[in-house]
Structure 1
Amino acid sequence: MAYQTFQQEYMQMPAITRAYTTSCVLTTLAVQLEILTPFQLYFNPELIFKQFQIWRLLTNFMFFGNIGFNFFFNMIFTYRYCRMLEEGSFRGRTADFLLMFIFGGSIMTAIVASGLVVNQVFLGQAFTIMLVYVWSRRNPYVRMNFFGLLNFQAPYLPWVLLGFSLLLGNSIMVDLMGIAVGHFYFYLEDVFPLQPGGFRMLKTPAFLKWLCNPVHEDPAYNPLPEDRPGGFDWGGEGERLGAQDEPRGD
């Protein structure tokens, strides 16, 4: 019964979210089982462009480290905000959502390859922050709660996560890159087109629209509302990981 429930929930996930989160989990499991090693996955321009190990352009976004707190934390946020974007502002626009993936991944790859950000060989966390940033800017009035300690509006969430990374002793360059790329995408898509003389600079190619041709939805499909902040009940009642809804006033 539990397996059937999980299978049903899994198949109801939107296509891009299902593909990306599954790839991340399978990649991590493959490393954990020693089928692969991180040395076969990390971003290395010399190996990519001189030895044509093209897969590294993708796999460096799929590995979040060994299974542990950091992995689960990142995967929860990746799944929640990826799904809420795909079922919210990108609902019925799978090709446009895939274009955002390609755009964000390409900009991050160019930044690391140019040497502007050094010693970053796995970019999955930066990609997650980008998703969080775009969602937070498109849901500016959602009130959020972080670990039961902080109350704030959604646009502050990426900065709260950056501060949390700093407290854990992690480099904040990854978070800053995700925020910068997310803001760049948000500006091109949501700000510049509304300016006098503005227009949409990111146009989805026809082949992506053909590739992502929408399918008929299952009547039982139950999407997550986009204005529902990500979070996870951790351990028991009152213990929460990440951001949760805060009751709104009348």
Structure 2
Amino acid sequence: MPVGVEAWVAQIPPITRWWLGISILTSLAVQCQVVTPLQLYFSAKNFLNGQFWRAGTTFFYFGPISLDFVFHLFFFMRYSRMLEESSFPNRKADYFWLLLLSSFMLLALSPLFNLPFLSSSLAFVPIYLWSRRHPSTPISLFGLITITAPYLPVALVAFSWILNGTWKAAAGDLMGCAVGHVGWFLRDVWTREMLGGTSVFSDAPVRLKRLFGDI
């Protein structure tokens, strides 16, 4: 591997780096027919029958290597990295806790929308949260138009819809935006305006912080 690539990977914050690495390896494993998508998707029936790994693998498979795969992986990596660097520096446990709580919410909602894979949904959580925390930041989309950050999730959902030609592809992204909105409300609005402090929804448990070496 070229030294430049190693240096670039090393600069990515740890939670985003692991998420990106596992996602790429999962898609490569499917591409090489080591596993099949049928072994990775989440369903409540299979989960209750003891196939517990599906509750994790559903968040790491972004589909076959394609333009849509590159699109979701690029934007997830970009904004997850920016969020982890700006809002969670040296707070690996808190960022992991945000993603873990969001994952539980997505798993609970997935039967309502019949979504077997939740990777793109979870990827929209950091995108949405970053956009709400940087409301005045201008964003250039593909060098064609410039928007402010709060409109970024909507623009990406619309592009995903156009790219796939079906509302179901956008449904997963919209569900991620909804969960991201809940995460933003609990962390930024509720703690500031209603409770005046942190809660279990905004701060990782002490044991998790010790596990990640944050304390």
Give the TM-score, by structure 1 length: 0.80
Q: 3-state DSSP class of the match of 2:146? A: strand
Deviations 1:161-192 (A, max 9, x none): 11112223132211210110000000000011
Where structure 1 has 5 or more consecutive residues not aligned to the other structure, the ranges are: 216-250
**Alignment match, 2:143:** 148
Q: 3-state DSSP class of the match of 2:147? A: strand
Q: 3-state DSSP class of the match of 2:112? A: coil
Deviations 1:96-146 (A, max 9, x none): 00101101111000111xx3222x100111111111100100111101121
**CA separation in 1, counterparts of 2:184 and 2:100?**
14
| Residue among 102, 119, 123 paired with 1:128 | 123
**Alignment match, 1:42:** 41
1:212 corresponds to which letter in structure 2? Answer: F
**CA separation in 1, counterparts of 2:211 and 2:137?**
34
Deviations 1:25-64 (A, max 9, x none): 00000000000000000011111112x1111111011111
**CA separation in 1, counterparts of 2:67 and 2:162?**
15
Give the TM-score, by structure 2 length: 0.92
**Alignment match, 1:231:** none
Pairwise CA RMSD of aligned residues?
Answer: 1.6
Q: 3-state DSSP class of the match of 2:19? A: helix
1:231-250 paired onto structure 2 within 5 Å: none
Percent of aligned pairs sharing the same letter: 38
Q: Which has the larger radius of gyration?
A: 1
> Shift of residue 149 of structure 1?
2.9
> Shift of residue 198 of structure 1?
4.4
Question: Does structure 1 conserve the Cα–Cα contact (< 8 Å) formed by 2:76 and 2:123?
Answer: yes
| Residue among 86, 91, 94 paired with 1:93 | 91
The structure-2 alpha-carbon separation of the partners of 1:116 and 1:153, relative to structure 1 and needing over 3 Å to count, comes to same
Q: 3-state DSSP class of the match of 1:64? A: coil
Report the count of equivalent residues: 210
Q: 3-state DSSP class of the match of 1:189? A: helix
**Alignment match, 1:206:** 206
**Alignment match, 1:229:** none
**CA separation in 2, counterparts of 1:6 and 1:151?**
29
Q: 3-state DSSP class of the match of 1:195? A: helix
Where structure 2 has 5 or more consecutive residues not aligned to the other structure, the ranges are: none
Question: Does structure 1 conserve the Cα–Cα contact (< 8 Å) formed by 2:124 and 2:176?
Answer: yes
1:154 corresponds to which letter in structure 2? Answer: A
1:23-38 paired onto structure 2 within 5 Å: 23-38=22-37
**Alignment match, 1:235:** none
Deviations 1:73-102 (A, max 9, x none): 111111111111111111121110010110
| Residue among 159, 176, 179 paired with 2:177 | 179
Question: Does structure 1 conserve the Cα–Cα contact (< 8 Å) formed by 2:131 and 2:150?
Answer: yes
Question: Does structure 2 conserve the Cα–Cα contact (< 8 Å) formed by 1:60 and 1:124?
Answer: yes
Question: Does structure 2 conserve the Cα–Cα contact (< 8 Å) formed by 1:188 and 1:200?
Answer: no
Question: Does structure 1 conserve the Cα–Cα contact (< 8 Å) formed by 2:62 and 2:120?
Answer: yes
